[in-house]
């Protein structure tokens, strides 16, 4: 039996085709600002994908935790959680998630908290739906797929 081909890739065009395919897949994620996100990792879409997946791993239960904190009226903890989520999303170019988290944070910081409670619940539902779409789109990305020549 011949040995499997384990030689490193020496085709300079393959890396650029893989990057192009990955960028195309990333572009399909609704609410992802390509320019902003790629500024964090110039010329390395695979690294950006890695950071997006780390965000997904680390913040995947934040919306459920936020719901629980709001239901328990633990507003200071809810503010801290949504602030961290907002910052992380913004740093990665997740503009829809960031905008919704920012709106929630703004409502939580209002002096009339009980009056803004319902709007926070509605926005948290929106954040949950946006996050689910992000998570599902991220799961569909196949970084090794090549773009057509």
pLDDT number for residue 15: 56
Determine contact, residues 135/56, Cβ cutoff 8 Å. Answer: yes
What is the rounded average pLDDT of the residues 10-20? 60
pLDDT, tens digit, for every residue of 76-105? 999 999 999 999 999 999 999 999 999 999
Q: Using the predicted structure, report yes or no on whether residue 142 has a pLDDT greater than 90.
A: no
pLDDT top residue among 1 and 62:
62
pLDDT, tens digit, for every residue of 27-53? 889 999 998 888 888 878 999 999 999
If you average pLDDT over every residue of the chain, what do you get? 85
Contacts of residue 146, Cβ cutoff 8 Å, sequence gap at least 6: 14, 17, 18, 21
């Amino acid at each position: 039996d011949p040995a499997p081909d384990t030689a490193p890739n020496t085709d300079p065009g393959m890396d650029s085709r893989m990057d192009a395919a990955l960028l195309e897949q990333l572009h399909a994620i609704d609410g992802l600002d390509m320019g902003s996100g790629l500024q964090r990792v110039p010329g390395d879409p695979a690294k950006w994908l890695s950071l997006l997946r780390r965000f997904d791993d680390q913040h995947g239960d934040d919306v459920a935790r936020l719901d629980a904190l709001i239901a328990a009226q633990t507003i200071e903890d809810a503010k801290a959680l949504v602030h961290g989520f907002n910052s992380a999303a913004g740093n990665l170019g997740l503009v829809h998630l960031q905008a919704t988290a920012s709106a929630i944070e703004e409502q939580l910081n209002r002096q009339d908290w009980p009056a803004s409670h319902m709007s926070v619940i509605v926005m948290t539902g929106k954040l949950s739906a946006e996050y689910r779409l992000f998570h599902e789109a991220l799961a569909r990305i196949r970084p090794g797929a090549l773009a057509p020549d």
